[in-house]
Chains A and B, each alone.
Chain A
């Protein structure tokens, strides 16, 4: 292992290096551009042996990745926001063809208005694409979760592509000390990049991405559904083995000061660090508050989330995304997870930090106070935090 000062994008580039990724088709987009830059540099310096394919769009980047993965090569790419949106149709092709591509995402807001800063809307908008989704809290997690993503995606019981999200700038462009593990240890964890599925091979012709009639299509979709369910166990196995080999522990859902908490915050990504500090400060004042961090969003860790939150009175979900017309995604899915359970905590949604607006300690205090208020009186189900409601009132009128 080597400790290095790395930005988030560089951490995922080094993950590609130590995972011995063989093909990297990529198209630059803020805030992911540093990934193709760093990877090209590593290849040019002879530190990494891989084929870098410069393409003309994100649509082509993922299409090239599909071709590469179909030949059995370990394949990775990176993108963000509009780039991921442009990949939309190709995402479904990659998961439908069951190709274990890994993609690092710099989570960024979508246009319009044009904005390059942190928000998880881009990957949340792709939650139905059949890709696994991991979210990093810091740059070390970005590197580690990229390796874990390969391990799970390539597992024979899964064979689904995976995306690993890290918040724009807060992680992608911020330097942190990162432990870059040794190639040999990584090879022990991932195994050599040998395909476990039929590959594009001129000596054994086959049809890939075939046309399928209504008589068969549903079985392929159900097959993906089953594989995604299987991935739940595979992810736990990967987390356990990762801890044994590298010493760092991951869980789909991680609790902090949650044991006797009456009010639980649920966070995902870089916002968790600030939330932890807020919880610590509130605990000093004797408040019974705890924190649940979500690391895996697809497959949605329903069972683990219920287990860890069921004794709380209030769950305050913090969503850095919004499905306009309903609510934030984590709120929606957590509430749906509790659907058939009689005794359940009250679940309240808090939308904040969109388009890179800073998530501050005082925002968490406000969230906590609102959640606490709800113990005695009705509060809104969906609450926008740190937003100028008056400015919106001027143009849209009252809600």
Chain B
């Protein structure tokens, strides 16, 4: 039983770190409703008359809907494609382990340790040669492949929680591989599939590096739109903040409503 002062200290510390983490987003949101002059004032003002002029300017300057559509398409398609590839891979590794399974998983994960810029030139040349520069196809392929290691790992951890004897029982009951997956594995792994899909949706939506380097006017995502507000004249903080808020608002709202599944997916295997 902890003493009350310790509980109070922990509560204060938790609030402090939460506010610290939230501060950049909160500041971004405030700045989006300021004028450019108010945005660069020192000291900054906490009380001001909010304005929507930055959002009007963002909508006027950029085809927000096109960028949002591209973000949505690339995120959703890469997530679905990734799940279709990762799920069978994770299934075979979880239920048909060999002595190399662990090594294979570690190798997959090791590809995430390399900085993306290390693969920029070959990927760019490949996309250019295939005529896929500034196309949604290129982004979908790159997003899928770059998230695949995480998806396989998360699904593998999720499937490992299913006792193998249940699948054996299904086989004894006459289940084929398809009926086994449909009636037994999928219902039991639904939570894991959902968490994995949600996390990769968020990762794809926020992906900026490949979007900036492989896309332009046609296939640019919201990340590309935000970057376009950095101009030779300098950074227009208020407009930049408004553009950023437009870009992150959908995914923040989505994450808010699915936070339970996201946390579940992120903490898989943490405690056994």
Task: Answer yes or no: are A and B bound together in one complex.
Answer: no
Which A residues fall within an 8 A CB radius of B?
none
Which B residues fall within an 8 A CB radius of A?
none
